[in-house]
Structure 1
Amino acid sequence: MAVSLSSAGTPWQEPPPGVSTVGGERLGQPGVQLAPSAGAPALPTGLTGQSWLVADAASGEVLAANNAHLRLPPASTLKMLFADTVLPKFDKNTVHRVTDAELAGLGAGSSLVGVKENLDYRVEDLWRGVFLASGNDAVRVLAHMNGGIPQTVAQMQARAQALGALDTKVITPDGYDTDGQLTSAYDLTLFARSGLRNPDFRAYCATRTAQFPGAVDKTTGQRGSFGIANTDRLLGKYPGLVGVKNGYTTNAGATFTGAAERGGRALLVTVMHPTGLQQVYDETAALLDWGFTAAGKVTPVGRLADPPPLPAASAGGAGSTPAAEPPKAAPVEQLSAAREQGEVGWAGWLAAGLCLAAVAAAVHGVRRRPAR
C-alpha cells in the first residue's frame, strides 16, 4: 500500500513552477514517497533532511524519497558533476604550473587544499585536493586547464542535461554559495552514479588520506608535502562505504551523497539540508541501513535515469588523452564468483549493459577508524 507522508521536522517548500517528474510522477510530489510491502521495515525516525533519496545503484530503482526534486543549494556536492564532466579529459600524470590568474576570484571562506601559484602540480594531486579537501583552489586550476570557468560551467550544465538532471543550475564549478545555483537530491544521485563508472573517480572518492605537494624549501631547494584527509565523515566508519562527496556552506547547510555495498547490493543515498552537519552523516547512515533491509520489500516509487556514455576526451587540449572505454558488463556468473572471492568491492553493476566495476583496490585493506 502506497503512503505519502509529510517531511519529519521540516515543512515542505513549494517547488518552482514545472517541478520535474523525471524518474516518475511520485518523485515530483511533496513529502515522503514510500510503497511498502508486507514485512517492510519502517523508515528511520527523526529524519530532518529537507530532501533525501534512497536508490539501488544497479537497477536505478528509487526505494524511497522525500521531496526528491526540491531545488536547494548544493555546496560541494556539485563537485561530483564537475569531476564527472572534467576528470576524463586529462591524463592523471600531466604536470601543470599554476598561475596567479587561476587562483583569482576565490570566494571568502572557500575551502582550500593549499594550491600555490608558480608551482607545478600533477593532475592527480589536484583531483585529490578536490575530493579529499574539497579544495575550490584545485577546482579552479582544473577548470582553467579545461578552457576557463565559463566553458567549464557550460559543459557541466550540458552534462547535467544529458544525465537527466533537470533541477540543476550551474553557476560555479565548485558549488560555492551563489544566488541561483541549485540542484536536488535526485540530481546529485545521478551525478554520483555516473561518476562512479570512472575508476579514477572511484579511487579518489575512496581515498582517506594523501600527501599533497607543498612549497619549496628556500634553504634546501627541496619541495615538501603535507597530509590531507578526506572530509567525508562516513568513509572508514560506515561498513562498505565507497564515497562519494560531502558539502557544507552557511547558505546550503550540509549536503551528502554516499554509496555503499553490502551483501552483493549497492545503494546510493543523498541527504540535503538536515538540521546540522553531523545529522547529514547520521541520516545517510540510517537510510543506508534501512535501504539494505528494505530492498525487495518495497515497491520502487521511481527510477534514476540511466547515464549516457562517459564524456569523450577533449580534442587537442593540453595534456589530454583519449578517454578510456567504459567497462563492459561481465556475465552475472563471473560477477557472482568474483564477489564471493572478495574481488568485487562495489556491487553496482547496472542493468541494460552498464557496469560499475570494482573499487576493491581503493577500499579493501583499509583499517577502519572513528570519523573526525
Structure 2
Amino acid sequence: MRFLHYAAAVFVVLAATLLPVPRMASAEEPAITADAAILIETETGRVVWEKNAEERRFPASMTKMMTCILALENVSPRAEIFITPNAEQTEDTPLGILAGERLTADALLTGMMLCSDNGAAVAVAEHIDGGVTSFAKRMNEKAAELGMKDTHFANPNGLPNPMHYSTAHDMARLARYAMRNKAFRSIVGQQNAGIRWTFPKDKFLPVENTNKLLGHYDGITGIKTGWTNAAGGCLAASAERKGVSLIAIVMHAPTPNDRFDDARKMLDYGFRHVTMVRGITSSRTARKVWVKGGQEARTFVRPVEDINYPIIDGEDAKNYTIHCDVPSVIAAPAKDGEIVGKMTLLYKGEPVGTVNMAADKVLPGFSIGSFFVGLFEGVINRI
C-alpha cells in the first residue's frame, strides 16, 4: 500500500510540474522538398514532426554514422589502420588514400565523416572484421539492437545497393544513439580539421566538413551529409538551443542545397514548438526500499540522473507518466550508487526515457528490523 501511495504522490507532483508550462502559438508545418523526413527531440527520441518517415529509402553516406560509432566502440583511437588496394579503389575517396598508407583510427574517422570518404569506410570495415561483408553483418546486428526495424546495411559507406536501405525514423534512432558518444560528437561537430598520416609521415591534408550548416546555423552540432543520384540529398542534422536538443533527418531531397534548407526549416519549427521541462529528478522521486541482512532495515533508492522531457505545442501534459521498477527488498551489503532497478518515463504508455535507480550505501550486519525483512520477504514482495 505504501508503494501505491508513493506512486500516486509522484504522479501528482509530475502533473503539477508540467501543467503550468505555457503553450506556444501554433505555426505552419515546415514546407520541405525532401520525400521523407523526421524531426525528433534528442533526449527522449519523441517525434516532433515527420513526413513519410517509415518509408524505406537509400541512406547514402548517412550510413557512415553507423560505421563511425562501431569503430569508436571497437577500435582504439590511436590504432593504425592500413589502407588496402580495395579501400584505395573504392569510388569517391576525397582523402586521396593509397594502398600501403597508414592513418590512426581517429584521423581516418575524422576524414571519413568530414569529407565523406568512401574508401576510408572500407578501410575501417576491413580493419575491424576483415572485409565489408563481415562488417555489414556487425552493422545489421547493431541496427537490430537499436530498434532499426526497417534498415539493412550492405556496405559501410552507403554506395547504392538494392539491399542497403533505411528510413528517416531509423536514421534518427541511429543518430540519437551515436550523439551520446562524446568522441562521435567531437568528430561530427568540426567545421574543419587537419588529417595527418602516420605513413608516409609528411602527408597532411586540411579538410572541410560537407555539412554546410556548421558555422551557419545557430546551435548546430552535427552530423552527416549524404548524396548519390539514387538517394538524392540526405542529411542528419543536430542542434541545441536553450536546453532543447533536436535531430532532423532529410532523405531524397532534389538537390544538395535543398537538404540544408529543409533541415533549417525543420529545426526552426522544432525550436518554436518544443520546450523542455524538468522531469525525473533524484530529489523528487527517491523512494525507500526494505533491506535484509543489513545494519538498517530501510534505505533510499534514487535515479542516478535527471530526465528532462519535451512539451510539444498542443499536447496534454497528462500523457506523461512514470513507472518505477525496483525490488521491494534488497540485500545488504549495497555499495553507494549500486544499480538496483530503473525508472521509466512514458508518453501515452510508450517508453521515451529510462534512468537507472541506485541505492544508498547499506552495510552488512544485524538489526531487528532487517531480520524480520528477511523473514517476511515473500510477503513484502506481494504487497
- Coarse TM-score class (shorter-chain normalised): 0.5 to 0.7
Kept in 1, the 8 Å contact 2:160–2:230? The answer is: yes
Kindly indicate whether residue 28 of structure 2 is the aligned counterpart of residue 42 of structure 1: yes
Q: Which residue of 1 aligns with 2:19?
A: none
RMSD of Structure 2 on Structure 1 (CA) = 2.2
Which one of the candidate residues 219, 228, 243 is aligned to 1:240?
Answer: 219
Partner of 1:112: helix, strand, or coil? coil
Kept in 1, the 8 Å contact 2:113–2:224? The answer is: yes
Which one of the candidate residues 230, 250, 253 is aligned to 1:251?
Answer: 230
Kindly indicate whether residue 64 of structure 2 is the aligned counterpart of residue 85 of structure 1: no
Which one of the candidate residues 196, 205, 209 is aligned to 1:230?
Answer: 209
Which one of the candidate residues 35, 41, 45 is aligned to 1:56?
Answer: 41
Q: Say if 1:97 and 1:238 are closer, same or farther in 2 by CA, change over 3 A.
A: same
Q: Which residue of 2 aligns with 1:210?
A: 193
Q: Which residue of 2 aligns with 1:132?
A: 114
C-alpha displacement of 1:102: 4.2
TM-score by length of 1: 0.66
Question: Structure 1 CA distance, aligned partners of 2:53 and 2:145?
Answer: 19
Q: Which residue of 2 aligns with 1:165?
A: 148
C-alpha displacement of 1:351: 3.3
Question: Structure 2 CA distance, aligned partners of 1:230 and 1:94?
Answer: 23
Q: Say if 1:141 and 1:41 are closer, same or farther in 2 by CA, change over 3 A.
A: same
Question: Structure 1 CA distance, aligned partners of 2:83 and 2:112?
Answer: 15
Kept in 2, the 8 Å contact 1:63–1:299? The answer is: no
Kindly indicate whether residue 103 of structure 2 is the aligned counterpart of residue 121 of structure 1: yes
Q: Which residue of 2 aligns with 1:321?
A: none
Q: Which residue of 2 aligns with 1:144?
A: 126
Question: Structure 2 CA distance, aligned partners of 1:278 and 1:292?
Answer: 22
Which one of the candidate residues 291, 303, 306 is aligned to 2:270?
Answer: 291
C-alpha displacement of 1:142: 0.8
Kept in 2, the 8 Å contact 1:99–1:117? The answer is: yes
| Gap regions ≥5 residues in structure 1 | 1-36, 301-327, 329-349, 355-372
C-alpha displacement of 1:251: 1.2
CA offsets, 1:257-298, max 9 Å, x none?
111000111011111112221111001011100011111314
Question: Structure 2 CA distance, aligned partners of 1:263 and 1:38?
Answer: 15
Question: Structure 1 CA distance, aligned partners of 2:87 and 2:263?
Answer: 35
Q: Which residue of 2 aligns with 1:179?
A: 162
Which one of the candidate residues 164, 184, 189 is aligned to 1:201?
Answer: 184
CA offsets, 1:243-266, max 9 Å, x none?
011100111111011110001110
Question: Which runs of 4 or more aligned residues in structure 1 lie more than 4 Å from their structure 2 counterparts after TM superposition?
Answer: 214-217
Question: Structure 2 CA distance, aligned partners of 1:112 and 1:66?
Answer: 33
Kindly indicate whether residue 50 of structure 2 is the aligned counterpart of residue 65 of structure 1: yes
Kept in 1, the 8 Å contact 2:24–2:273? The answer is: no
**Higher RCO (Cα < 8 Å, 6 or more apart):** 1
CA offsets, 1:53-107, max 9 Å, x none?
1111112110111111010111100111222223211110112333334434x23
| Gap regions ≥5 residues in structure 2 | 1-22, 275-311, 317-338, 340-351, 357-383
Kept in 2, the 8 Å contact 1:215–1:225? The answer is: no
Q: Say if 1:298 and 1:152 are closer, same or farther in 2 by CA, change over 3 A.
A: farther
Letter in 2 for 1:261: E
Q: Which residue of 2 aligns with 1:314?
A: none
Kept in 1, the 8 Å contact 2:82–2:123? The answer is: no
Kindly indicate whether residue 266 of structure 2 is the aligned counterpart of residue 280 of structure 1: no
- Aligned residue-pair number: 262
Q: Say if 1:96 and 1:85 are closer, same or farther in 2 by CA, change over 3 A.
A: closer
Higher helix share: 2
